[in-house]
Amino acid sequence: MARRTVSLIVAMAALVVLSPLLAVISAAIVVGMGRPVLFRQRRSGLEGREFWICKFRTMRPPRYPGETDRERTTRLGTLLRTYSLDELPQLWNVLRGEMDIIGPRPTLPEQVARYGAHERRRLRVRPGLTGYAATKGRNSLSWPERIDLDIWYIEHRNIWLDLRVIGWTILGLLRPRGITGEGGVNPDFPAPEPAPSESARRQRFYGQDSSRMREESWP
């Protein structure tokens, strides 16, 4: 309950403070790409329940069949994506109770349909506007890495970890990386694999860096 209350307060305050920026972005999209301003897409949230996520539009309509998303993304769209400004309308999703400020990023229902028991553990909490995995590399991470980071966050989350995630998010906005996957294409979720053992998951998560293991093991 306290976490939900904090998310509501932060979302309402952010919408008020950022309203001039939201208005400027909306006007720029109308001038540069026309309407609609927002892009809506079905995503899976808490316990797999679907909802409509809101983003600022970053792509123009296709000029010919088969035109790639990368080709359709405008200069304004690239700027918005680089600094995650296209995600700001999701503050409305937070107000509606579909998302929190911090949590695993919401994924597509068709990707969730391929989740195994291990991956479904990331659906135990509301998805977030930002998240632990998102601060560690965003779309440059493989799906197994992303899943393991999200699950680690869910198992260890507390106010101090959340404050660190917010700090890392701010640093990530100042030094963007991992906006898209290799070649400008975000990887799709792979076919399900057998759930890894705990030792294999820890090895994949921490690798050979024992210092990282110590750092990330704080409460």
For residue 209, count other CB atoms closer than 10 A to its CB. Answer: 10
- Given a cut of 80, whether residue 214 has pLDDT beyond it is no
The number of domains in the chain is 1
pLDDT 10s digits, 58-70: 998 888 888 888 8
For residue 191, the enclosing domain spans 2-216
pLDDT at 119: 92
Q: Residue 216: pLDDT band by 50, 70, 90 thresholds? A: very low
For residue 165 the two structure tokens come to 């995630």
